[in-house]
A and B are shown apart, each in its own frame.
Chain A
Amino acid sequence: MPKLTDVKKVLVIGSGPIIIGQAAEFDYAGTQACRALKEEGFEVVLVNSNPATIMTDVNIADRVYVEPVNVEFLENIIKRERPDSLLATLGGQVGLNLAMALEEKGILADYNVKLLGTQISAIKRGEDRELFKEAMEKIHQPIPESTIVETIMAACEFGRQIGYPLIVRPAYTLGGTGGGIAHDEDELVDIVQKGLGYSPIGQCLIERSIAGWKEIEFEVIRDAADNCITVCSMENVDPVGVHTGDSVVVAPAQTLNERELTLLRQASIDIVRELGVCGGCNVQLALDPFSENYYVIEVNPRVSRSSALASKATGYPIAKVTSKIAIGYTLDEIENAVTKTTKACFEPTVDYIVLKFPRWPFDKFVTADRTLGTQMKATGEVMAIERSFEASLLKAIRSLEIGLIHLEMPELKDLSDDEIKERVKRIDDERLFVIAEAIRRGVTIDYIYDITKMDKWFLHKITNIINMEATLKNEELTPALLLKAKKMGFADPVIGKLVGKDAFEIRAMRKENNILPAYKIVDTCAAEFEAATPYYYSTYENEDEVTVSDRKKVVVLGSGPIRIGQGVEFDYCSVHSVWALREMGYETIIINNNPETVSTDFDISDKLYFEPLTLEDVLNVIEKEQPEGVIVQFGGQTAINLAGPLAKCGVKILGSSVDSIDRAEDRERFEQLLTDCDIPRPKGHTVFDTEGALRAAADVGYPVMVRPSYVLGGRAMEIVYNDDELRNYMTYAVKASQEHPVLVDHYLQGREVEVDAICDGNDVLIPGIMEHVERAGVHSDDSIAVYPPISLSESVIKTIIKYTNKMALGLEVKGMINIQYIVRDNEVFVIEVNPRSSRTVPFLSKVTGVPMINVATKAAMGIGIREQGYRPGLKLFPDYYAVKAPVFSFNKMSNVDITLGPEMKSTGEVMACDYQFSRALYKACIASNINVPNEGAILITVSDLDKPEAIEIAKGFADLGYEIMATTGTKAYLEEQGVPVRIANKLGEGVPTIIDEIKAGHISMVINTTNHGRDSERDGFKIRRSTVEHAIACLTSMDTARELQRVMSAMRRRRVVSVIALQDLAWED
């Protein structure tokens, strides 16, 4: 069927901010969708609240709305733009839920908007448990015995009928939020209670647990003519029981025989046909390891995380093909983008093994429960491509950037054999490492299998790795053995350590013996057809398929897996840098390992190397390609960390030099720079022990900000207010020593200001200055940022411009620089400088109209700012306000304190713009899913320090008609100031307690700050966690509370919903 003729203007829904369970994969999918639609000549209107995405670039869609992704705003956009159709299946669960809501509310019908691709009825058959069950029963596809409950009583009744264990899944939630496995009635009651709260429709599915079975997935694509293919099979190394997003996954499935594969493939196709999905669909199945019995676990009638993985694993562009199907094409009409000669209607065959490894945030959330189950906890993932399981696994581990380059965790060395055997039972993020350690200690595969039910094939492969370690340790390292180790994926430093040499000696030996990686093409067809894709992976085999051109080329390092502190924004930067370099005529080469991103689409750069970002792996590519140099400043800390080692190996770092980076990162050299430039910073000292810390604190004065010098990104950073707290910190939080000093700085309480600027060595362009709503002390990425600044005086702005210029030029920056300032009493202090792209660049680029990465890349390559047509200095402020607000995933992480502090906790961000500041901020709050109540009671329970500030806030909210509740101390304080307050009982002060009232729905919002320290036993912690569990807003900074109160007051008699397309913000400087 040819393309639909009645479609002219398509509305595409993006997935909103990055949260656990919904990461960068939807930027990749949405970007592909928009490009595919534009390619067909359609006008594309895009809605997505996440500014850190490529898809919200003004050149990706004709009309870009960075607005809250909800029904009210969507309706407004539809009203303004009058699209004739809607594409919702590429925006994740958010997109699907919205499409259903728009349909139910009659909005699609009212505005005559046609839904493209998978229709509502099919979405419902896939999503609604009861309809799904009916559909499966109709085509005789087995699903585990289950029931849908809306009450706890019904759940218990089912438990008595079927027996335990049972799995609980709340309906319509992301990544299985609130689900779990119940082993008895008590657990069931607990999980169902929470689950009912999480489900937007108050339903939970309870089903027989098939934990321990093989978990197999198929990615299926079907078109409107009912042609149906499977793109790829996947097998979870972790059997059923661990969320697929938290599982190590291989593709294709490895342990099935042909009959089983055929059986499950046909089941998947039959299911997708019965549901009537049009486009990509993910089918999850559980297969009994000892029979051909299987169950259908779940279907996602949309493009998903798994389809991003399948796309990158095979080279088959699922999102693009899904979009083309949505506009009427059939699979046999769509070109295979890889071969250019064959069609999209085929089943990719691969000749390698892909392994996906999740990246968890437990390094940031040290107190979080690390147990893996039905609730996804990973923030991101890496993918590795190799020709053997062993090599693929080791490559994936190297890609994770968790401080490991091998299947070995040093911490486990301290455990006894018995402890290790015991640890095998724990299903957590370290399980594979524990298993490896167990095998290393001689624990049998059978023992491990009996506990974990991981297929013995995988366990045996891990054993191969352990055996190779032993061989390397015990035998002489001959070239033949070295080759064998390299084929198995052992990194040079790992081999070196085992044989008592350093990594460079191993590298030299490899080169001497011509043991070099060969690069193979990912081509969807196992070499059956010639491929046009420049998509490569390394392996130690004979034939290298890369043709090195004689063009001038540049390598751009990607940013690896999505994690807290390094999100999709760096992928945005890498991609824009590549585009700028291509504009300049360079051949561009990307090295990255994240399957969810735009940068790893094979048509972004001239060449894509899907590799770990370690020195060895990167050097191999560089030696192969011989580029002019490498750009590191756009790949986040991952790439920056490689700059020094690469430079040492003689690789040219383009843009700011390694010395510039070092001068910003090395405390002494940085202080020298500030002294030279005459720029003040909060007073501080470097200390090596507790005594030193106490002396330093006495000198600089409390409160002090303390942090170890050797970790980045705010880890283990705290603000302490007295000697006791400082002693406590020095004893428990860090291990200070001569090698690992601790920094003690005076904590300046003031406005935090952030600047991203571009320097070409002579001139400095400052596209914008952002001011944070929260005072310094809250991590900058957890703060609400406002552009242009709202409270800075002219003299302060002048000073900031002056300092920015001085530091950019002083550091000899070529490219991006990010500076954080604190403003107190009209005085400006510098707290941090990074000569690289920051997380705020995509936001600032969008709201200032300056394509910052483009300009910075060109500046790094030697084209001056003036030459590029830009005037140095601070760009004029616009007439509108733009607000960037953080988004958290606390509901996925039990036991994590939600109080904001110096350690970053947000997983994503949203943006909102408006000509009125209040509306911009209000929209940002809505977009970030802060559940702002319009009425009800607000509980205020704050620390003594914050009580004076609470008065104005409480009065403001009371004036708006909210009831104010407070605990005894705060109540007395507020009532003295004339605020009427209802008492809230602290825990243990009688019933109902605060938590009871939260549970009962009597409290609509909580404002809570605590006395310092983070003892999780405290009442505050329990209260804050219960707000998460009951999905009510909890503000932990007085600044956020104050600003929110002002905004709500300003918006009270104004319309909230008002939208602006980014294209309409364009204005001349």
Chain B
Amino acid sequence: MHEITKKGKLILADGSVYEGDFYGKRNAVGEVVFTTGGMCGYQEMLTDPTYCGQIMVLTYPIVGNAGVNNMFNQSRKAYCQGLVIGELCDYPSNWRSERSLEDFLDEQDIPTLAGIDTRSITRKIRDNGVMKGVIVPAEASEAEIAELLAAPEVHDQVAQVTTKETYTVGEGKLHVAVLDLGLKKKVTSFLMGMDCHLTVFPASTTAEEILRHNPNGIVITNGPGNPEDVPAAVETVKALLGKKPMLGICLGHLVMALANGAAATKMKFGHHGNQPVKGLETGRVYISAQNHGYVVDAASLEGKDITVTHVALNDGTVEGLKYEGKNALSVQFLPDGEHTYLLKSFVDMMEGR
């Protein structure tokens, strides 16, 4: 039996308290979101920059069964603020496992609360919407908690996660400029898989700078938070539109919509996990991996030269857009797996087909 675990708690902005076993060296504060995709993909999600600033609640009650392997990291480090789970597996078993999730969380300094009925939190967020929360040790004082909860909302997540310097990767035929709003490895690898080589630019890069590299096409990546928090990126995209074929993914999709004069709204609890998406041009429904808390406001598209190409099957929200005459498309989800056809369209655009 291991040593007696430290106790801790999660306190939500509405005052509800969840007590559990605390793993961590610091407090966590952030927006509390639930995700249904953590059964196997916990490491991928923890290192997904999109979760920057958020406290992640995993709906699956047993976490860490397959351990951790650095090859699965989606970025340099884990950006999520904190983790709330049921059982933290202390005996991972998978041939790829290098160490336990517990060790990884410790190394990445992610405050974690385990032994929690995460379904009850999920139900709360589903009914009341996302809210702020803190993870603290059990002995934290009321005042300390109040202060943490009062901390101002963060708006600089993209700046935290974007690359500091421009770099290139891959040796493919086509040259793709990637505006890194929170690029994750899956995006890099599926682009490379389409025979592309990439130049990855910091989020603050100007349009001129990008065009100077004369890419075949431009990808605006996934990333954390509200698209309105990255006005510079919106401006850059505005300037780039129509100049080169463009593909927007997740936050990149929202930024492109804004650059085209549309608006984004905050969702009640977002889409985090697998979601069915219907392609309006094909009539086909595919399951997609999603992770977003904001969505394009369908009403704001009216009168603009933008076609809705994809909608979420469950709630009808906008999932994909085509910007007419601009050789540009964007989707709210990761265009991998069965959505690879979107990447092919992008490649076709770049090749002038």
Contact = CB atoms under 8 A, between A and B. Distances in A.
Interface of A: 225-227, 229, 252, 254-262, 266, 269, 289-291, 330-332, 341-343, 345-347, 349-353, 387-389, 455-457, 460, 467, 471, 518, 520, 525-530, 541-543, 545
Which are the 6 A-B pairs with shortest beta-carbon distances?
A543-B120, A457-B93, A526-B59, A257-B66, A541-B117, A460-B91
B297 to A, nearest CB: 21
B283 A229 contact: no
Nearest to B19: A542
Nearest to A528: B36
A351 B119 CA distance: 7
Contacts of A343: 276, 313-314
A643 to B, nearest CB: 35
B31 interface: no
Given A527-B123, A527-B126, A542-B120, A261 B62 contact: no
Interface stretch (B38-46, B139-147, B244-252): B38-46
Nearest to B66: A257
Contact of B273 (A225, A349, A460): A349
Contacts of B127: 530
Nearest to B127: A530
Given A526-B36, A526-B59, A225 B284 contact: yes
Interface string B36-66: 1101110110000000000000011110011
Interface string B66-105: 1001001000000000000011010111111100000000
A542 B95 CA distance: 35
Given A518-B117, A526-B60, 5 more contacts: A252-B39, A258-B72, A262-B337, A346-B314, A353-B61
Contacts of A227: 284-286
B40 A528 contact: no
Interface in B95-139: 95-97, 117-120, 122-123, 126-127
Contacts of A255: 65-66, 93-94
Contact of B72 (A259, A266, A330, A456): A259
Given A256-B66, A257-B40, A262-B337, A351 B93 contact: no
B310 interface: no
A352 B62 CA distance: 8
Contacts of B206: none
Contacts of B286: 227
A391 to B, nearest CB: 10
Nearest to B39: A252
Contacts, number: 140
A527 B93 contact: no
A339 to B, nearest CB: 8
A545 B287 CA distance: 29
Contacts of B123: 527, 543, 545
B197 interface: no
25 contacts: A229-B287, A252-B39, A257-B72, A257-B94, A258-B41, A266-B337, A291-B95, A331-B285, A346-B287, A349-B39, A387-B86, A388-B87, A456-B91, A457-B91, A457-B92, A518-B117, A526-B119, A527-B126, A528-B34, A528-B36, A529-B126, A541-B119, A542-B117, A543-B120, A543-B123
Residue among B44, B274, B314 with the most chain A CB within 10 A? Answer: B314
Contacts of B69: 257
Interface string B161-186: 00000000000000000000000000
B276 A351 contact: no
A781 B61 CA distance: 45
Q: Which of under 10, 10 to 19, 20 to 34, or 35 or more describes the interface residues of B?
A: 35 or more
B174 to A, nearest CB: 25
A388 B122 contact: no
Contact of B274 (A269, A290, A349, A387): A349
B278 interface: yes
A257 B71 CA distance: 12
Contacts of A331: 285
A527 B66 contact: no
A290 B95 CA distance: 5
Contacts of A455: 93
A227 B123 CA distance: 30
Contacts of A349: 36-37, 39, 59-60, 273-274
B36 A258 contact: no
B315 to A, nearest CB: 8
Given A255-B66, A257-B40, A347 B287 contact: yes
Nearest to A386: B61
Nearest to A457: B93
Contacts of A257: 40, 66, 69, 72, 94, 96-97
Nearest to A350: B60
Contact of B285 (A254, A332, A545): A332
B113 to A, nearest CB: 14
Nearest to B282: A225
Contacts of A269: 338
A239 to B, nearest CB: 13
A388 B86 CA distance: 9
A254 B284 contact: no
Most A Cβ at <10 Å: residue of B41, B119, B122: B119
B187 to A, nearest CB: 15
A237 to B, nearest CB: 12
B91 A388 contact: no
Contact of B95 (A289, A353, A526): A289
Given A229-B287, A257-B72, A388 B93 contact: no
Most buried by B among A330, A350, A387: A387
B131 to A, nearest CB: 16
A294 to B, nearest CB: 13
Contact of A389 (B37, B62, B276): B62
Contact of B36 (A260, A457, A525): A525
Nearest to B91: A460
Contacts of B285: 227, 330-332, 345
B278 A332 contact: yes
B115 to A, nearest CB: 9
A387 B314 CA distance: 27
A513 to B, nearest CB: 16
Contacts of B44: 258
A522 to B, nearest CB: 11
B15 to A, nearest CB: 16
A374 B43 CA distance: 37
A471 B1 CA distance: 10
B154 to A, nearest CB: 26
B60 A351 contact: yes
A526 B87 contact: no
A229 B278 CA distance: 13
Contact of A530 (B39, B126, B338): B126
B36 to A, nearest CB: 4
B196 to A, nearest CB: 21
A525 B93 CA distance: 26
A518 B61 CA distance: 15
A643 B262 CA distance: 67
Contacts of B86: 387
A455 B95 CA distance: 11
Contacts of A541: 117, 119-120
Nearest to B125: A527
Contacts of A542: 117, 120
Interface string B227-251: 0000000000000000000000000
B118 A345 contact: no
Interface string B254-288: 00000000000000000001111010000111110
A346 B276 contact: yes
Contacts of B95: 289-291
Nearest to B284: A227
